[in-house]
Structure 1
Amino acid sequence: MLVALMSLFISCSDNNLNEEIIQITLLHGWGTMEEDHIAMRKIYEDFEKENPGIHINLLSMPSSEDAVNKAIDMISIGNVPDIIFTGGIGYDTIYKFMVEKDYAVNLFPYIENDDEFKGNIPKSVIQYWENDNKEIFTLPDVFLMSGYWYNADIFSQAGIKEPPKTWDEFLDMCKKIRNWADDINEDIVPICFNSENSIALFDYLVSSNGGDFHSINNEWRAELNYNTLYENLKKLQVIFEYSTDLNKEFTYRDSLNNFNNNKSAIYINGVWANSMIDQNINAKYAAFPMNSGKTIASKSSCIGYIVGNTKDQDRIEASIKLVKYMLSDNVQNRLLEETGQVPINPKINIEEYRESMPRLYEAVNVVNNADMHIPIPVNFWNEKKRVYFMNNILDVLNRKIELDEFVKNIETE
């Protein structure tokens, strides 16, 4: 009898314990075995240590694109994830759809009623994502800041004393590196082009040549006419001819590997790529040139975490705790130290990392001190136009697709 009562007590206790644990699912794109992906998953898992009453199930996809596509599939059958991390993409797809269908939680009241939460978010981020109805449906945990990395040793050996200050100098730099590499019979290119860095380079060309990029209803979008598209794509083709192996098609990982193996002089990527660049490379950071001689770089507050409106208030509040956790002082420092990303929390002082992370510190300052800032492509482009551009740009640069056809197709997307 005593054993039976004890078994009943233990069983009831276990049931009560299970009832107290709130389970939430985080769908994200940090699912590979790359160092920053592993670090991000560890940060997510450590959330449970501070919140023992919450269990987080990680639904890990290999990329942000895969995470957004998975979210679309889940929501289409009525399964709304508790939290989605979009990694900056999906504004015209998953984000707008979730907001319009009431599948996303308005974070504004949670921010306004929590001084600690509010204090961890810069006013610029709140202003960017707050709509006319005082609603906020997403929060990022980092700023996306970008210019380009360059191998200072290759620059020096090719006779380049400093980063170019105009686009003419930029093209001349590409010629010098290519000629130097040919002279010493080395397979070194100025830039290893891929679809991601092609669209970024195109944005800089357009913006520094008077292209019409502006904010529409608080949304940055490229309003590009035929002539602007055509003329700047022609300039991109010229840079491409000097900069890459015309017989190969590269991915963004190929571009990184080439840079790390001293096979390319420039690596176009954000400051966060510091952690992926070989520490033995004499890598420095630069903003892109403008024809006026000024500099231009990217800085964006992108889509980040979207809390799903599951109609379960306990799960919603647990999910908001996770977002708040990601913006906390401790985690924001971890994002900087362990992944090289730039935290949005205004209390995190990059100056404190001047000695311990000098390369990242320099890169962040280069971006902050640029004369002009534009958003990164995901904040610039209509999603369909951006995807079409990236899927076809390498064929355009290789002249497998006619420029006129490409431009007209972009206009109709």
Structure 2
Amino acid sequence: MQRKLAMVAALGAATALALAGCSSSNPGTGGTTGSGSTDGSSGSTDGGGSGGDITLDFSQWWEVELAPGVMRGLMDRFEEENPGVTVNLISNPYSATVDLQTSAAATGTLACLVAINGASVYDLKTQGAITNLSTLMDEAGFDPSTLVSNDQIDGATYMVRALNFAYPMYYNLDLLEAAGITKLPETRSEFEDAATKVTNPDTNVYAWSLPINVQSPAGFDSQSWLWASGGRFLKDRKPNFETPEIANWLGFLKSQYDAGVITPGAFTQQEQQKVEEFTAGRNAMMNGSLAHISGIRESNPDLSFDIGYVPVEDGFTGERGLAGASWGMGIAENCEHKAEAWKLVEFVMSTDVNSELATEATGFPGSVDAVPGYVDGDPLYEKAFEVYQNSEFVTELEGLPNALDLNRNLNENLVRLLQGDATIEETQSSLQEYWTGVLG
């Protein structure tokens, strides 16, 4: 819980409010770019402009998920402070960003700066695609103790966490009330009852979405249900799938799918589409980043919704788990201007900028000195802060070798289970075998 305590300390008494997510101010927005490019690679990742000026390509999903103009505005300020340096934002949704970066890493054409997270940093480092940031920190005289979290691989830093996020449940109060449900479900049985009551295929309303896209695995829509009740995939960093907790979790997902309360198209649905379903009032519940709050409010001001815990297994009395993720930054090994690229990382991690970014994204700052300026008294953020304080922040899969492949394998096994092509026991065995082959 060290990371959690550090982040709470960073907020201090300056805010009694809320916390984090993976921002989405525009739930209906598709892939966009800050500079007219959608390619996450660059044959010349930081080629010079006219007069010998430097252009730094920055491949990320942040601009898509922030309010219009926020990311570009920050980059404009950086350019003003660093004459001769231009930042070209390459902006796509998260899953597309990961796919493009995976291809670019294999060919040594990564953009100079890349937005990454704990699911991809190990593999990019192993490929030699991202550079050792500890060396750049030393050369720039940067103090790593100013970072909330300084995760390392083999004794060196390869990713700086700009923001940290949490994933609670969203609840559409209008749909729940119309179904006669007066309090948010706290257990799986209560959730199952609510899911049945709110689902009406004739009006295209379903309880929730379960995007388990095999091609672009993202989010924590399946995992959150396990982690909430104290279950884990790993024990001492080794696969541990053949447990009663895993069996019960798989059984819950299977029963929900068979009951027809999950939005059709789960096997091809993308993370962003799930947010769109909830925002449009077609889903009653959603597991998602807290930063979706602002986007939902902007896109559908009339939607009445609340924040709550992910329901736990009946009879569970331990500390609830809450899925967590991060917005991190890395620098490509093939970047020709690493010193200038590091200046941009430092800029993002500076107190004022990191505070502003955290505020705009509704995230926890990555700098120990930054404090987000959440709107005081907002009941949703206050509720979110309560959920966060009373939960264990779970980032079980971050930093694992081949983490994206493991997530993909998880979804593949879930698809087979839900389609009826595998039993719960066979699914557990398959996961145990594959993950053991990867992790040992």
Which TM-score band (shorter chain)? Answer: 0.7 to 0.9
Q: 1:317 aligns with which of 315, 325, 339?
A: 339
Q: How does 1:132-281 map to 2 (within 5 A)?
A: 133=155, 135-178=156-199, 186-195=203-212, 200-209=220-229, 211-213=231-233, 223-225=240-242, 228-242=245-259, 244=261, 247-249=264-266, 250-277=269-296, 278-281=300-303
Task: Return closer, same or farther for 1:411/1:383 CA change in 2, 3 Å cut-off.
Answer: farther
Higher helix proportion (structure 1 or 2): 1
- Report the Cα offset of residue 209 of structure 1: 4.8
Structure with max Cα Rg: 1
User: Aligned partners of 2:171, 2:246: CA distance in 1, in Å?
Assistant: 27
Contact (CA 8 Å) 1:61, 1:67: kept in 2 or not?
yes
Query: How does 1:331-350 map onto structure 2 within 5 Å?
Result: 331-350=353-372
Distance 1:333 1:221, change over 3 A: farther
The answer as to 2:120 corresponding to 1:90 is yes
TM-score (normalizing by structure 2): 0.71
Matched, 1:67 2:97: yes
Q: Can you give the 5+ residue segments of structure 1 that lack an aligned partner in the other structure?
A: 1-14
Show CA shifts across 1:268-289 (max 9, x none): 1011111221332122111223
Q: Equivalent pairs: percent with the same residue?
A: 15
Q: Bigger shift: 270-279 or 79-88?
A: 79-88
Aligned residues: 376
| Secondary structure of 1:191's aligned partner | coil
Contact 2:58 2:111 in 1 (8 A): yes
CA 198–240 in structure 1, closer or farther in 2 if over 3 Å, else same = farther
Cα offsets for 1:25-45 (capped at 9, x unmatched)? 32323575x654763344334
1:130 and 2:156 matched: no
> For the residues of structure 1 that align with 2:243 and 2:141, how far apart are their CA atoms?
48
- 1:144 touches 1:302 (CA, 8 Å); kept in 2? yes
Distance in 2 between residues matched to 1:259 and 1:301, nearest whole Å: 21
Deviations 1:19-69 (A, max 9, x none): 4x333332323575x6547633443344212211322233x2523444344
CA RMSD of aligned residues (A): 3.8
- Rounded Cα–Cα distance in structure 2 between residues aligned with 1:111 and 1:145: 31
Using the size of structure 1 for normalisation, the TM-score is 0.75
Structure 2 unpaired stretches of 5+ = 1-47, 435-440
- 1:348 CA drift (Å): 3.5
- Which position in structure 2 is the counterpart of 1:374? 394
Indicate the SS of the match to 1:140.
strand
**Higher RCO structure (Cα 8 Å, ≥6 apart):** 2
**Aligned amino acid, residue 256 of structure 1:** V
